[in-house]
C-alpha cells in the first residue's frame, strides 16, 4: 500500500509540475519593444541629447506608416533574454547590415523607417541608416531638449528622441508617440529597452 501511494504521488507530481522544472522561479523578461513614459532629466546618467523632427526626413508624409510598423512590434523581445538575438531582433539588425548580438535600439528605429519608407537626412542630404543611436543627431534639423523642457518648442509625433551617455559615443533612441511631446515628459516606443514595470 505504501509503495502504491508513493507511486501515485510521484505520478501526480509529474503530471502537474510546471513545464521546464521552473517551479517557483520567474523567467527574466528580456529587452524588447515597449511603450514608455519618458522625461527630460538633464542630470541623468544618459540624458536626452536631442530630438529629430519629421521635417528632417526625406518623406515626412510617410511617418504614419513608419509608426505603424514600429507599433506592430510592440512586445517583441530578445530570445534568449539578454542575448541581443532572436528572429525579430536579427531582422532589425539586418536592416543596418549586422547580425545578432549587437545593441539594436537604432536598428529597430531604422527598420521601422525603412518600411515607411522614411529616411532621416543628414545636413548634407544623405540618408542616415545606422546602428548607432547618436548618429541620428547628425540630422539636418534637431530640437534641443532644453527648449522642449522650457515649453518653447513641442516635439511632433513621429520624431526620434536620442539619449547619450556623457563623454561616450553610446546612446539610445526611440520614436515619439505623443501628439505632440509638450514640456518635460512624453510617450515613446523603443526597442532594446526593459519593460516599463522593470524601470527603477
CA angle 54, 160, 102 (to 5 degrees): 135
- DSSP code per residue over 104-150: -HHHHHHHHHHTTT--BBBTTSPBP--S-GGGGGGBS--B-HHHHHT
Q: What is the mean pLDDT of residues 189-193?
A: 97
pTM of the model: 0.82
- pLDDT tier, 29 (very low <50, low <70, confident <90, very high otherwise): low
**What are the extents of the domains in the chain?**
31-198
pLDDT at residue 159 is higher than 80: yes
How high is the pLDDT of residue 198? 60
Residues of the chain above pLDDT 90, percent:
76
Q: pLDDT band at residue 112, thresholds of 50, 70 and 90?
A: very high
**Mean pLDDT, all residues of the chain:** 85
Place of cell 536626452: 48
pLDDT at site 1 = 42
- Only one residue has cell 548580438, namely 101
Per-residue pLDDT, averaged over 30-46, amounts to 94
Amino acid at each position: 500500500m505504501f509503495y502504491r501511494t508513493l507511486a501515485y504521488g510521484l505520478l501526480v507530481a509529474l503530471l502537474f509540475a510546471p513545464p521546464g522544472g521552473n517551479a517557483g522561479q520567474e523567467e527574466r523578461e528580456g529587452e524588447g519593444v515597449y511603450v514608455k513614459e519618458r522625461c527630460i532629466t538633464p542630470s541623468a546618467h544618459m540624458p536626452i541629447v536631442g530630438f529629430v523632427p519629421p521635417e528632417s526626413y526625406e518623406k515626412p508624409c510617410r511617418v504614419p506608416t513608419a509608426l505603424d510598423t514600429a507599433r506592430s512590434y510592440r512586445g517583441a523581445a530578445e530570445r534568449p533574454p539578454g542575448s541581443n538575438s532572436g528572429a525579430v531582433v536579427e531582422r532589425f539588425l539586418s536592416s543596418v547590415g549586422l547580425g545578432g548580438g549587437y545593441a539594436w535600439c537604432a536598428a529597430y528605429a531604422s527598420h521601422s523607417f525603412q518600411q515607411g519608407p522614411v529616411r532621416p537626412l543628414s545636413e548634407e542630404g544623405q540618408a542616415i541608416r545606422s546602428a548607432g543611436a547618436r548618429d541620428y543627431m547628425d540630422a539636418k534639423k534637431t530640437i534641443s531638449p532644453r527648449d522642449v523642457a522650457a515649453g518653447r518648442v513641442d516635439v511632433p509625433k513621429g520624431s526620434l528622441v536620442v539619449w547619450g551617455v556623457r563623454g561616450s559615443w553610446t546612446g539610445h533612441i526611440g520614436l515619439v508617440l505623443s501628439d505632440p511631446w509638450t514640456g518635460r515628459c512624453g510617450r515613446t516606443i523603443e526597442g532594446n529597452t526593459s519593460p516599463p514595470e522593470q524601470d527603477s
